[in-house]
Each structure stands twice: as structure tokens, then as C-alpha cells.
């Protein structure tokens, strides 16, 4: 340590975190650390995160460009932003423009397969491509969301207006899902700019999307090229560097629960607001009055693929177990048969530790089955062990549905299949992610975060009487 800067680390060196706890520097970190590198100490856990100088510089340059672009967007017409989405969609839909993206995605899939990685979400299928195009056209056609007056307080001598305006630079770290890349450009609709760091599995696909469609679309519309920035790095350190940059107005993370939680902690301790979309897994409850056919369809259609709103735990009340448990297994087998596999079902008891586990699968559907005394016990188990994201009740009793809605601690509550929870499917707006209530209920907005949600409220005074004073 010289001139007040950290230039080296020693193996075994004591590092204080959380105000009253200590950890020590491991040998590998001490050997790798160089002058100019940065050490992020996660105050919640004591994790020591090494950010090499090159990764920090790469991220800083991307945020520089996005910051400048945010200022430039203020003088851009709304029609130009619409033109960006139109050209983005057109190029993505055009086979010639899409060819380099398809080739890059195929290479990413092969690489991921060779490394034993799941590829279900990575593969840019025909349906995923169509959904991306549809989402971009949604942003093209939606009413402008920049600079809207949302309220006004009139005084005798002056008026105070409330305006919904752009927020700033959005930092976005997400797993290897190409469709999220298109969804997240929705922040431009509200006048914001975005810096991406995508999972290493899909980096080649992301590079091709940037080169083949995003950058040409920005240029076509006359938007600043810095408005959409990709951090071209496979290193996790790039994500840590991005979320510790205090110029971000919002940090969004999607991916595995542990990684997302760590990124959120980094953002918060640097004063950057965070929106985290990590842990998922839906719960489905079959009540005593459940229609058996409706229940079976809900199970089948909630296990068609693994995402955050996929069925994770199914609760069946004991009085209907003899009839509905076989229907549950049959429905799970039907969902699995589309992949030519058999499902994995875990028979659990109340308060089993695995009720809190999210079953991660790519090809073979995996789900837990829990027999409960009644719906009240199902609610109690869900509130205690679930990630508090999606809950659904199959019941013919309207009073029971009201009791379920009032008692369940989750932002998304339904009466059928759980996979309805999706911004584009439910709200006709591409989503940046879905927030659960694990970290507490959300203030002032719903659990779906979309480009339409990224704004701030400004106050503007109009003083009629110049002699007004306090």
C-alpha cells in the first residue's frame, strides 16, 4: 500500500467486513493481485472479489459511452427511438442479417454442450427469434414513455408539476439467454441507456446481435451508438466492476440465486439501486374442491420448460390425494414425454428442507410433491419455504380463492398454470425480469420489471408571482 492505494495483497492478510467480522486473503488471490487492480469486499458475506485493472477499464469505458449517450438522447425525437426498434426487429427477422447470429449461437451451443452446460435457454430457436421480434415491435408501437406529466399541485401563486422522466444508465447482468438481450433494450423507450454483461455461454451470440442488428439499428435511427453497450468479457469480474460503478442509476441482475445475491450486495454497498431477479420456482396447490382435469392441465402446462415460473412444488390436500396424486404423476409424464424422458418427482413431507430448493433442469422435468392437511397448511409451507414468487390455487370455492390470495406472500397469484407469469405474455410488454419477495415486498411497483418501469419522478415549479418567498 503506497500513496493511499492498494497495490498488493498478502496471503493471510486480515480484511474487516460487516463492521465486526474478519476474513483473510487466500493464497490464490494474493498471487493474482497486481497494482491497479481493485478489491471489492462484500460487506454482507466477506467475499473478496478481485477486479483486474483491464476488466475495470473495459467496464468504465462502456459506462462512459452510455453516460454520454444518455445526455444525447434528451435531444432525440421519440420517432427516432421507434425507428430503432423497427429496424432492430426488421434486421432480426431478415434471414441475411440473422445468419451471422444463427452461426454464432450454434457455436455457443456446441461450446456449452462440450463443457457440460445446459443449453435449453441458450439455443436461439425459431420461436425465441419470433418472440424477440414481436417484443421489439411492441416497444416500437407503444405510446411514448418519455417526459410525461403525472400530477400537479396548484397553489395560489405557483404550481408544482410532477413529471415522469428518464432514469439514467442501467447496468444489466444476465445469464446466457439471447432473448433477454432484446427485451432489455426496452429501457431506451423511456429514454435510458443500457450496459450489458451477458453470461459467457452466450457471449458469441451477443457479439453477433450487436454487430448485425443493434449497432446498425442505432445508426439507422440516428441514436448515439453508446446507448446500448456490451461489455465484451467472459470474466465474472466484469459484472462486479459494472455493479460497483456509481454512475449507474439502476443495476439489474438475472441468473442463479447465489450469483444474483452477490451482485446485488455489491451494488447496494456502492449506493446503486438494485433490482434482482434470481431465485424462482412456482408452487401449485390443489384444494379439496379442485377440478381434476383443470388440475392436471395446470401441472402439465407448468412443466413445459424450466424458467423461474416453472412448477417447483405441488401441494395436494390429503382428502383428494388418492385421486389427484395419480393425475399429477400422469401430467408430469405427459410434460416429460415431449422430450422423450421420464420426470423426476420428489415426495416430500411438511417442513422438509428440500421444499426450499429450486429444482434446476434442462431436459428432464424435476418437481416436488407435498401432501398437506388443507389449503391453510399449504399457504404456511409456501410462505415459509418458497422464494415467494408464483403461487396458484386450483379450487372451485371463491371464498377459498380470496383466503389464498390474502394469505399467500407472493407478487404473482393465479388459479391455473403457473407459467402465465411473464411480462410479454401477461402484460404485452417484454420484461427485464421478475422480482420475488424473498427480500421483502416491493415498494411502488409490481413484480414485473420492464423498460416501461425504468423512470424517475421530477418536480417542476412554475411561479406566477415573482414576489413569492418563504
Q: Is the pLDDT of residue 1 over 60?
A: no
Helix (H, G, I), strand (E, B) or coil at 466: coil
Phi/psi at 193 (5° precision): -120, 165
Residue 214's pLDDT band (boundaries 50, 70, 90)? very high
Please indicate whether residue 207 or residue 179 has the higher confidence score (pLDDT).
207
Domains and CATH numbers, the chain: 77-277 (3.40.605.10), 282-424 (3.40.309.10)
pTM for the whole thing? Answer: 0.88
Residue 453's pLDDT band (boundaries 50, 70, 90)? confident
Q: Is the pLDDT of residue 140 over 90?
A: yes
The per-residue pLDDT for range 7-16, each reduced to its tens digit, is 999 999 999 9
Task: Report d(CA 37, CA 100) in Å as an integer.
Answer: 36
Residue 443's pLDDT band (boundaries 50, 70, 90)? low
% of the chain residues with pLDDT over 70: 99
- As a whole number, mean pLDDT of residues 298-302 equals 98
335 forms beta bridges with none
* Cβ atoms of residues 230 and 198 within 8 Å: yes
Helix (H, G, I), strand (E, B) or coil at 164: strand
Q: Is the pLDDT of residue 434 over 90?
A: no
Cα–Cα distance list, 385 to 196, 282, 378 (Å): 32, 11, 10
Task: Report d(CA 221, CA 73) in Å as an integer.
Answer: 12
- As a whole number, mean pLDDT of residues 303-329 equals 97
462 forms beta bridges with 159
Q: Is the pLDDT of residue 439 over 80?
A: no
* pLDDT for position 444: 67
% of the chain residues with pLDDT over 90: 83
Closest CA to 259 of 238, 245, 273, 288: 238
* pLDDT for position 430: 80
* Cβ atoms of residues 92 and 182 within 8 Å: yes
Q: What is the DSSP string of 235-264?
A: -HHHHHHHHT-TT-SEEEEES-HHHHHHHH
Residue 108's pLDDT band (boundaries 50, 70, 90)? very high
* pLDDT for position 277: 83
Query: What is the 8-class DSSP label of residue 187?
Result: G
The per-residue pLDDT for range 234-285, each reduced to its tens digit, is 999 999 999 999 999 999 998 877 899 999 999 999 999 998 887 899 999 9
* pLDDT for position 3: 58
The per-residue pLDDT for range 62-83, each reduced to its tens digit, is 999 999 999 999 999 999 999 9
Task: Report d(CA 187, CA 118) in Å as an integer.
Answer: 29
Q: What is the mean pLDDT of the chain?
A: 94
β-strands 148-154, 448-450: how paired?
unpaired
Q: Is the pLDDT of residue 2 over 60?
A: no
Burial 5-16 (b: 16+ CB within 10 A, else e): eeeebeeeeeee
* Cβ atoms of residues 299 and 368 within 8 Å: no
Q: Is the pLDDT of residue 37 over 90?
A: yes
DSSP-H helix ranges across 312-357? 321-337
* pLDDT for position 30: 97
- Tell me the three cell numbers of residue 269: 454497498
Task: Report d(CA 166, CA 177) in Å as an integer.
Answer: 26
* Cβ atoms of residues 435 and 275 within 8 Å: yes
- Tell me the three cell numbers of residue 405: 390470495
459 forms beta bridges with 162
Cα–Cα distance list, 87 to 131, 134, 224 (Å): 16, 13, 15
- As a whole number, mean pLDDT of residues 315-328 equals 98
Q: Is the pLDDT of residue 445 over 70?
A: no
Closest CA to 360 of 410, 433, 412, 307: 307
Lowest mean pLDDT among 197-201, 217-221, 235-239: 197-201
Q: Is the pLDDT of residue 52 over 80?
A: yes
Lowest mean pLDDT among 141-155, 255-269, 437-451: 437-451
Amino acid at each position: 500500500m503506497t500513496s493511499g492505494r492498494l497495490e498488493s495483497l498478502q496471503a493471510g492478510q486480515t480484511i474487516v467486513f460487516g463492521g465486526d467480522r474478519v476474513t483473510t486473503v487466500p493464497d490464490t488471490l494474493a498471487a493474482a493481485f497486481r497494482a491497479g487492480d481493485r478489491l471489492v469486499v462484500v460487506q454482507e458475506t466477506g467475499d473478496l472479489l478481485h477486479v483486474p485493472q483491464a476488466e475495470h477499464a473495459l467496464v468504465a469505458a462502456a459506462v462512459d459511452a452510455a453516460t454520454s449517450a444518455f445526455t444525447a438522447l434528451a435531444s432525440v425525437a421519440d420517432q427516432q427511438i421507434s425507428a430503432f426498434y423497427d429496424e432492430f426487429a426488421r434486421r432480426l427477422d431478415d434471414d441475411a442479417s440473422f445468419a451471422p447470429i444463427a452461426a454464432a449461437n450454434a457455436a455457443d451451443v456446441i461450446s456449452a454442450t462440450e463443457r457440460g452446460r445446459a443449453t435449453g435457454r441458450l439455443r436461439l430457436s425459431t420461436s425465441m427469434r419470433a418472440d424477440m421480434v414481436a417484443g421489439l415491435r411492441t416497444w416500437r408501437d407503444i405510446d411514448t414513455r418519455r417526459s410525461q406529466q403525472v400530477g400537479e399541485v396548484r397553489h395560489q401563486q405557483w404550481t408544482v408539476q410532477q413529471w415522469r422522466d428518464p432514469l439514467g444508465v442501467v447496468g444489466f447482468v444476465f445469464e446466457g439467454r439471447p432473448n433477454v438481450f432484446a427485451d432489455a433494450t426496452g429501457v431506451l423507450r423511456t429514454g435510458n441507456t443500457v450496459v450489458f454483461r451477458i453470461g459467457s455461454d452466450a457471449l458469441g451470440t451477443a457479439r453477433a446481435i450487436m454487430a448485425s442488428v443493434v449497432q446498425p439499428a442505432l445508426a439507422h435511427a440516428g441514436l448515439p451508438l453508446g446507448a446500448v453497450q456490451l461489455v465484451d468479457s467472459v470474466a465474472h469480474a466484469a459484472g462486479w466492476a459494472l455493479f460497483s460503478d456509481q454512475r449507474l442509476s439502476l443495476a439489474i441482475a438475472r441468473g442463479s440465486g447465489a450469483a444474483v445475491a452477490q451482485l446485488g450486495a455489491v451494488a447496494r454497498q456502492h449506493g446503486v439501486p438494485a433490482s434482482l431477479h434470481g431465485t424462482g420456482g412456482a408452487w401449485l396447490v390443489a384444494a379439496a374442491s379442485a377440478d381434476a382435469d383443470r388440475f392436471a392441465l395446470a401441472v402439465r402446462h407448468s412443466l413445459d420448460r424450466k424458467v423461474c415460473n416453472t412448477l417447483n412444488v405441488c401441494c395436494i390436500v390429503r382428502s383428494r390425494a388418492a385421486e389427484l396424486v395419480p393425475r399429477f404423476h400422469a401430467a408430469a409424464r405427459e410434460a416429460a414425454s415431449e422430450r422423450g424422458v421420464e420426470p423426476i418427482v420428489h415426495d416430500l413431507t411438511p417442513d422438509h428442507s428440500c421444499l426450499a430448493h429450486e429444482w434446476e433442469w434442462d431436459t428432464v422435468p424435476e418437481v416436488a410433491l407435498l401432501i398437506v392437511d388443507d389449503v391453510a397448511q399449504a399457504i404456511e409451507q409456501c410462505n415459509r419455504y418458497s422464494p415467494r414468487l408464483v403461487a396458484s390455487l386450483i379450487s372451485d370455492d371463491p371464498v377459498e380463492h380470496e383466503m389464498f390470495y390474502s394469505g399467500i406472500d407472493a407478487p404473482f397469484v393465479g388459479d391455473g398454470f403457473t407459467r402465465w407469469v411473464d411480462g410479454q405474455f401477461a402484460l404485452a410488454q417484454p420484461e427485464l425480469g421478475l422480482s420475488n419477495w424473498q427480500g421483502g415486498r416491493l415498494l411502488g411497483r409490481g413484480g414485473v420489471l420492464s423498460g416501461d418501469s425504468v423512470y424517475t419522478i421530477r418536480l417542476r415549479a412554475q411561479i406566477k408571482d415573482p414576489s413569492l418567498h418563504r
